[in-house]
Amino acid sequence: MRNRIFSALLPLLFSIPSAMQAQAKLSVHWEELTGPDFVKAIQQSQGTCILPIGILEKHGPHMPIGSDLFTSRYTSAHAAEQSYAIVFPEYYFGQIDEARHEPGTMAYPREVVLALLQATTDEMGRNGCKKILIVNGHGGNNHLLPYFAQTQLEKPHNYVVYIFDRRMPTTAGGPQKKTTNDQHAGESETSKMMVIRPDLAHPERAKMESGEDQHHSTLPEGVYTGIWWYASFPDHYSGDGSVANRELGEYQMRWWVDSVAKVLTAIKADDTSLKLQKEFWEKSEHPVDTPQ
Ligand SMILES: [Zn+2]
């Protein structure tokens, strides 16, 4: 009898430590934390939070409209598992005017884009995020985000905005790519989606449209105009997703996750930026007193 009770209790005894462990491990996702756990998460992350930014835009004939949201969130969550940080929920309010002619695009007015981004980082800051890393997954944001970061000097606040917006450089190695033009819904992006959400990547449909440069613009190099992208890629597709493969996707995603994890570690160690910001705002109150 005693033996029987003991053997009935045995699995329970073994399950206790793992249950306690599960309780102790904090989720990296903002929306999954309880109030008390959020306080612990802010401490554990040293006030480091990630705002992954995606967009809703067509991605060729073969990829989901939310592709950039999936990739930036996957990268951020996996990086935060390596170097703990709190990851903000789905955010897709960026710059995407160049795809207004395609179905499913959500292009908010510029005032809304900037105001919402500012309100979001302000609210994150008020909740203890002293270091906010924006992980960008969308090419159309690559002018918007540095501008946003630069204009943080406009008025004092007690947090720092950092931006990570790098594509894997060719020097990072990995499987040889088959295409040279690989900008939007092409070989790399499609390969990455085959890793993140294989059920949503359809490389076999990628040839239904052309992602080749149409060269409709006659302007000389060095002249910028908003219609430049449409002039080259009127179907909002640039590259060839049909040659995508998991091996390339795995290599690129590993590079991206590891890069963001390294950035998180560096940001946690950064005690200079906030100090310099404070010194700057103090001086900018009375510029004529700044030593000349
Ligand atoms: Zn994309």
pLDDT, tens digit, for every residue of 95-121? 999 999 999 999 999 999 999 999 999
| 75 CA to centre of ligand 1 in angstroms | 14
Q: Residue 249: which H helix or E strand, with range? A: helix 246-269
Higher-pLDDT residue of 43 and 5 is 43
What is the distance in A from the centroid of ligand 1 to the CA of 248?
A: 16
Q: How far is the CA of 40 from the centre of ligand 1 (A)?
A: 34
C-alpha 21 to ligand 1 mean position (Å): 37
* CA 139 / ligand 1 centre spacing (Å): 7
Per DSSP bridges, beta strands 86-87 and 131-136 are unpaired
* Residue found by looking up tokens 């950039």 in the block: 68
- Banded model confidence at residue 142, pLDDT cuts 50, 70, 90: very high
Confidence grade of residue 216 (pLDDT, cut at 50, 70, 90):
very high
CA of 4 to the centre of ligand 1 (A): 59
pLDDT in tens, 180-189: 999 999 999 9
Whether the per-residue pLDDT at 7 is higher than 80: the answer is no
Poorest-confidence range of 10-19, 236-245, 275-284?
Answer: 10-19
Ligand 1 centre distance from Cα of residue 36 (Å): 36
Domains plus CATH for the chain? 28-268 (3.40.50.10310)
State the DSSP string of 27-43.
PSBGGG--HHHHHHHHH
pLDDT band at 24 (very low <50, low <70, confident <90, very high): confident
What is residue 93's predicted lDDT score, i.e. its pLDDT?
Answer: 98
Number of Cβ atoms within 10 Å of the Cβ of 200? 16
CA of 138 to the centre of ligand 1 (A): 5
Give the distance (Å) from ligand 1 centre to CA of residue 152: 26
Short-list 75, 260, 271, 81, CA closest to 160: 271
174: left (phi over 0), alpha (psi -120 to 50) or beta: left
pLDDT of residue 171: 87
Q: Answer for the pair 46, 9: CB distance below 8 angstroms, yes or no.
A: no
Give the residue-averaged pLDDT of 69-94.
98
Cβ within 8 Å of residue 111, ≥6 positions away: none
Residue 2 pLDDT > 60 = no
Q: Tell me, what's the pLDDT at 19?
A: 52
Q: For residue 210, report the distance from its CA to the centre of ligand 1, in Å.
A: 16
Q: What is the mean pLDDT of the chain?
A: 93
Distance 218 CA to ligand 1 centre (A): 26
Q: Tell me the C-alpha distance between 12 and 103, whole Å.
A: 54
Please determine, for residue 18, whether its predicted confidence score (pLDDT) is greater than 70: no
Q: 208 pLDDT exceeds 60?
A: yes
Which has the minimum average pLDDT: 6-15, 151-160, 247-256?
Answer: 6-15
189 CA from centroid of ligand 1 (Å): 6
The answer for residues whose C-beta is within 8 angstroms of residue 225's C-beta and 6 or more apart is: 217, 219
Question: What's the mean pLDDT in 143-169?
Answer: 95
Between 10 and 236, name the one with better pLDDT.
Answer: 236
Confidence at 4, pLDDT banded by 50, 70, 90: low
**Cα–ligand 1 centroid distance for 92 (angstroms):** 12
**Distance from the CA of 7 to the center of ligand 1, in angstroms?**
55
CA of 229 to the centre of ligand 1 (A): 14
C-alpha torsion sign, points 116, 119, 122, 123: negative
Strand-pair partners of 136:
53
Distance 114 CA to ligand 1 centre (A): 21
Share of the chain above pLDDT 70, in %: 92
What are the respective helix, strand and coil percentages of the chain, to the nearest 5?
Answer: 55, 10, 40
Band (pLDDT 50/70/90 cuts) for residue 168 is confident
Spatial CA neighbour of 164 closest among 27, 39, 264, 255? 264
